[in-house]
Structure 1
């Protein structure tokens, strides 16, 4: 498999397959939302768009990075979200890097959003689809986020049929700048257990695929849904 690892600023053209990686914390939070029953996640381009979607659809759950803010129902923390009952709900998510990365490759025929908690299922989808050219979008720190790069490299190896020891990849995530900032409480809207939850390998049996859909009022949306590989 031909794997490229690019930050959001390095994206040029439309890749045939894109795997958008945000370990700490967008796509760990998204996976937890699905595990707690969410039907779909709408990826918003801005806080203003997220709030407008919430205004038009009051039953939707709006999630953002950073500290709690008026109009938003939750923050981008897996530990703070894991006890929520989201059965049948639509979540609107806006984050600094993860949602930006997915929207940057929205025209790709296949867009998967990934983190360590869905790494194995993501690799399984790439294998069953026979993907021979994959662009991994390393969303954090303009492509330099060590936790995102480690996860991307791990998924790429597994998608190619290898069985790498995950310990070193997880260690890189644990020693990353993002992990240190979360552990120190530097990032607003965080919880002391966020890092540990972000480093749970294969916690969930599904991947997450993002596609263009029409909202209830016909407006175009980028929507993330769980996707279970056949094997």
Structure 2
């Protein structure tokens, strides 16, 4: 598989297959939302759009980066979301980088959103689809976020069916700038467990696929294909 890692601003053309990586924290949060029963996640273009969607659909759950704000029901923190009851709900998510990255490649034929918590499921789906060329969108720090690069590189190796020790990749993420900022309280709307929750490898058995639905970009869980003999770990 031909894999390349690009930042959002480096996307000069629409890739055929894109894996949008945001480990800390958008797509860890999204995975937790599905685990807590959410039916779908609408990826909003802006805070105003998120609030407008919430106003039109009061039963939807609006979620954003940073501190709590009027009109929003939750913040972008897996530690704070993991106890929520989202059974059958639609979540509207707007984050600084993760949702921006997915919307930047919305014309791709296949868009997956990922973090370490869904790494193997994402890799299996790429193998099943026989994807020859994959663009990993590294959303953090203008494409230089170490936690996102590490996750993208790990998924790429697993998508090629290579038995890979995850420890070094997880260590890079653990030592990243994002992890330090979360632990030091630099980022608002955080929980003390956010970093370890973001580094739970393969916590969930599904990949996450984003597709256009009625002018919205909608993320849904997709059960991981069964492992094949050539891709066993």
Query: TM-score, length-normalised on structure 1?
Result: 0.97
Instruction: Give distance in 2, aligned partners of 1:21 and 1:212.
Output: 19
Contact 1:128 1:229 in 2 (8 A): no
For residue 28 of structure 1, what is the aligned residue in structure 2?
A: 28
Structure 1 position 118 matched with structure 2 position 107: no
Once the 2 structures are TM-superposed, how far is the Cα of residue 36 of structure 1 from its aligned partner? 0.1
Q: 1:229 Cα shift?
A: 2.6
Aligned to 2:219: 224
> Are the equivalent residues in 1 in contact too, given 2:138–2:152 (CA < 8 A)?
yes
Q: 2:36, 2:96 → 1: CA distance?
A: 23
TM-score, normalised to structure 2, is 0.97
SS in 2 for 1:71: coil
1:86 corresponds in structure 2 to: 86
CA RMSD of aligned residues (A): 0.4
> CA contact under 8 A between 2:121 and 2:225: conserved in structure 1?
no
> Would you say 1:203 and 2:198 are equivalent positions?
no
Q: In 2, Cα distance between the equivalents of 1:227 and 1:105?
A: 19
Question: For 1:1-231, what aligned pairs fall within 5 Å after superposition?
Answer: 1-214=1-214, 220-231=215-226
Aligned to 1:217: none
* Aligned counterparts of 2:113 and 2:207: Cα–Cα separation in 1: 8
| Structure 2 residue matching 1:13: 3-state secondary structure | coil
CA contact (8 A) 2:29 2:77 kept: yes
| Contact 1:17/1:110 (<8 A) preserved | yes
For structure 2, the 5+ residue unaligned runs are 227-233
Q: Distance in 2 between matches of 1:55 and 1:64?
A: 15
Provide Cα deviations, 1:77-124, integer angstroms capped at 9, x if missing partner. Answer: 000000000000000000000000000000000000000000000000
Unaligned runs of 5+ in 1: 215-219
Per the TM alignment, residue 163 of structure 1 is displaced from its structure 2 partner at its CA by 1.2
